[in-house]
Amino acid sequence: MASSKETYCLCGQPYNIGQFMIECDCCREWFHGSCVDVKIYQSDDIDKYHCPKCAQTYGPSVLKIPTNNHRADRYELGAETRASQVGSPAWVRALAARPLRPAPPALTRLRPQQFTEDFVKDNGFNRPIIFHTSEGLDMVTPNPATFTVRSVLRFCGAQLEVEVIDVRRQSTLRMPLGDFVEYFETPPDLRGERVLNVLSLEFSDTNMASLVEPPGLIRRLDWAECAWPLAEERPPRPAVQKYCLMSAAGSYTDFHVDFGGTTVWYHVMHGRKIFYLIPPTSTNLALYQQWSASNNQNERFFGDMVEWYGTAELCAGQTLCIPSGWIHGVLTPQDSLVFGGNLLHSYSIEMQLQIYEIERRVETPVMLRYPLFEAMHWYAGAHLLTMLRRHNEETQAASYTTMPVAELNGYAHTQLPSYDAAIAQQYPANNYRPTVVHTARRRRGRRPPTG
């Protein structure tokens, strides 16, 4: 009878939850992937697995024969006439062949020195901004000449479990950072068509944290910085400020809105990214919800369903800020290493609340939302009140117009009852990056039956 004490593999160790195992199609024994050098992301391509012992008699494992390159499943039979699917090599190639549409009216090009709170007060923060140099942004990043994915490995540790998007399948899997870096350091033509993308490595609590600081203005605007209380008995502040993105060439992240309507900044250390940007007009947000709920979402490029989209090409050394609510997809033409982060702030309250409403309506899993979003609004309200009082004391004249409190006021009344529930529900640490749940065809590592 199978029991949890049962042992397997060359090593004679038991099954460990979370450790990938594979069954030999000859002797029917189970093996730890790490003991027989098979990675979880390679197992899908194996038709018949032969363990090291059986391989001596029956020859090496038999790989599946790919029949198409325009579908999530490259082995799908009879798929020749079916539509191309998002993330497949054919899809990515077709997208890369489209002409770019750099769009002056939608994309503000700023010198870092112009990016001040006064600029935001005067112009709002509702158009993407691109910086061709970071000098003057008051941002901290490591030296790109020496910092690579290998450095990420050194700072965060090979054992750190990271969530990885399998671009072709548009699904997520977890693997140790060490495995991912080994994959990333393999030349693209030897990666066996596997395109992997890491978007959700938040490193605030790793040794890498001190190497990166968001642009100065971003830090000053960020409610997590200026409004979240430091008191120890409070929940830890939401950790969404420092992400390390590592994307293999050919990665594509389909259109989405960042969680909670957060504003986001990206700085490219290595490689290149192409952003497809769509403004969050009410028409576009409605179309977006329609498209998200449709059953052929993964065969339709959302950019073609709206009146207009623009592109922003971001090369090494450049920085992009995407404002609240902007719908975006991202193509990665070359292996890339990017730092970025998300924030809620006082100049996009209305849009942030609107996106939160959409997330509630479409029942976005809590795991994919801004952590403690509602609690954050109470702290932000308190913070704005303090600022307002200070302002009034200083000027002796009530000048409410520049303070965006009105929206919060309405919010406080409608959301009051769910506050505690939100705290309870949202407290666990979670993971908010796009993980393309809609098309997820989850496939865990094969593992032995447990008793």
288's CB contacts (< 8 A; 6+ apart) are 255, 257, 278, 302, 327
Q: Which two tokens stand for residue 356?
A: 């939160």
26 is a site residue for Zn ion (CB under 5 A): yes
CB nearer to Zn ion: pick between 23 and 350:
23
CB nearer to Fe ion: pick between 323 and 445:
323
CB nearer to Fe ion: pick between 258 and 359:
258
3-state secondary structure of 110: coil
Considering only the stretches 127-135, 242-250, 255-263, 396-404, report the one whose residues sit in contact with Fe ion under the rule CB under 5 A: 255-263
Shortest separation between residue 367's beta carbon and ligand AKG, angstroms: 15
Contact track, Zn ion, 40-79, x by CB under 5 A: -----------x--x-------------------------
Nearest-angstrom CA–CA distance, 430 and 366: 8
Q: Measured in whole angstroms, how far is the alpha carbon of residue 111 from the centre of its chain?
A: 27
- Measured at the CA of 99, the angle between CA 276 and CA 284, to 5 degrees, comes to 35
Nearest-angstrom CA–CA distance, 280 and 286: 9
Shortest separation between residue 278's beta carbon and ligand AKG, angstroms: 12
Shortest separation between residue 434's beta carbon and Fe ion, angstroms: 6
Nearest-angstrom CA–CA distance, 7 and 13: 5
35 is a site residue for Zn ion (CB under 5 A): yes
Which has the closest alpha carbon to 203: 251, 259, 160, 256?
160
**Which of the choices ligand AKG, Fe ion, Zn ion, none does residue 345 contact, using the CB cut-off of 5 to 8 A by kind?**
none
Q: CB pairs under 8 A, 24+ apart, for 51-57? A: 51/24, 51/26, 51/27, 52/10, 53/27, 54/24, 54/26, 54/27, 57/26
36 is a site residue for Zn ion (CB under 5 A): no
Residues shown for the chain: 451
CB nearer to ligand AKG: pick between 15 and 131:
131
First-residue to last-residue Cα distance in the chain: 7
Size of the residue set binding Zn ion (CB under 5 A): 9
Q: Which residues sit at the interface with ligand AKG, rule CB under 6 A?
A: 197, 199, 245, 247, 251, 253, 258, 273, 328, 330, 332, 433-434
202 is a site residue for Fe ion (CB under 5 A): no
Shortest separation between residue 379's beta carbon and ligand AKG, angstroms: 24
Residue 9: what residue type? Answer: C
Shortest separation between residue 93's beta carbon and ligand AKG, angstroms: 17
Buried residues in 111-124 as b, exposed as e (16+ CB within 10 A):
ebeebeeebbeeee
Considering only the stretches 75-83, 256-264, 306-314, 335-343, report the one whose residues sit in contact with Fe ion under the rule CB under 5 A: 256-264
Residue 32: what residue type? Answer: H
24 is a site residue for Zn ion (CB under 5 A): yes
Q: Which two tokens stand for residue 193?
A: 């068509």
Shortest separation between residue 35's beta carbon and ligand AKG, angstroms: 33
Size of the residue set binding Fe ion (CB under 5 A): 1
The only residue of 166, 222, 254, 258 in contact with Fe ion, by rule CB under 5 A: 258
- List of residues contacting Fe ion (CB under 5 A): 258
- List of residues contacting Zn ion (CB under 5 A): 9, 11, 24, 26-27, 32, 35, 51, 54
